[in-house]
Structure 1
Amino acid sequence: MRPVLAYLLLVATLLPTFSQWGTIAYYHANKDYIAKVLCENRAKPQLHCDGKCYLAKKLTAQQEQQDKATTERVLKTPDFQLFFQLTLPFCFRQVSVGTVTKLPTYLLKNYSSPRSHPFQPPRV
């Protein structure tokens, strides 16, 4: 059952590709009838059209129909949003300078003044 289903899905997927080949096969099978009855240039045998104008018109119409169907299908396809990122507005807090009066003790223990640094420029 699985192989049959797999082949059916494969054929259904590739069917739009084969539609042009079907039109070309129909043209080759009925070339005489198309050249005598359906050809636009049947009154001008020096052009050697042999129904190629009919084939070109059919293939162009088929391509336009497929393009239109594809465009409609794409436009009607719903959009699914998979990810969402929450963006919050950023606000600056105003801090007054007078609120910080004393440094924490852990900062004071390891602090060294710039004057005691060993690499200083020479004094003039």
Structure 2
Amino acid sequence: MLVRVISGILMLLSVLIGFQQAIIVMHFKLNQEKIEKAYCENKYKPEMQCHGLCHLKKQLEDQENSETATLKNYPRVDMLVASDFEFILSNSDSEYSEVITVYQEVYYKEPSREIFIPPPIYYLF
């Protein structure tokens, strides 16, 4: 039972992280009048028709900047198989071999990353 509750909470958190920008926009739309009165920089310039969009743009930029800043702090690490070693352990009763795989960390930098571009989809209609 506890495992299901914890996994449900983790799934909910992962969905919320994926929809951060949508949540910011939804909060803005629901509270647009209050945000316009409290935070709008252009409320004294009605010809600009801002209606609080300046505050929304700032929030989205801050969210994007904080996301890219956290990604820059953690280097990308992939695990690749370096080599295989085979150890033969002998016992007086039986002999068996055991394969142990060793991994090596590889750090990628921006220019060497591969960009995946899916093939185009053609419809035959």
TM-score, scaled relative to structure 2: 0.55
Q: Which has the higher strand share?
A: 2
Match of 1:84 in 2: 83
Match of 2:65 in 1: 64
Q: Specify the alignment match of 2:37 in structure 1.
A: 36
The structure whose residues are more often helix, as a share, is: 1
Any idea what SS the aligned residue of 1:40 has? coil
Instruction: Measure the CA separation in 1 of the matches of 2:80 and 2:6.
Output: 32
Aligned counterparts of 1:63 and 1:16: Cα–Cα separation in 2: 12
SS at match of 2:23: helix
Secondary structure (helix, strand or coil) at the match of 2:62 reads: helix
Alpha-carbon offset, residue 80 of structure 1: 4.4
Q: How many Å separate the matches in 1 of 2:16 and 2:26? A: 15
Q: Which residue of 2 aligns with 1:19?
A: 20
**2:105 equivalent in structure 1:** none
RMSD value, Cα: 2.5
Q: Tell me how far apart the structure 1 counterparts of residues 5 and 59 of structure 2 sit (CA, whole Å).
A: 33
Runs (5+) with no aligned partner, structure 1: 86-124
Letter in structure 1 aligned against 2:66:
Q
CA drift at 1:32:
1.2
2-structure distance, mates of 1:44, 1:63: 28
Paired residue secondary structure (1:12): helix
2: CA distance, partners of 1:23 / 1:15: 11
* Higher mean C-alpha displacement, 57-66 vs 12-21: 12-21
Please state how far the C-alpha of 1:12 moved relative to its aligned partner: 2.6
What's the counterpart of residue 99 of structure 1?
none
Gaps of 5+ in 2: 85-125
TM-score (structure 1 length as normaliser): 0.55
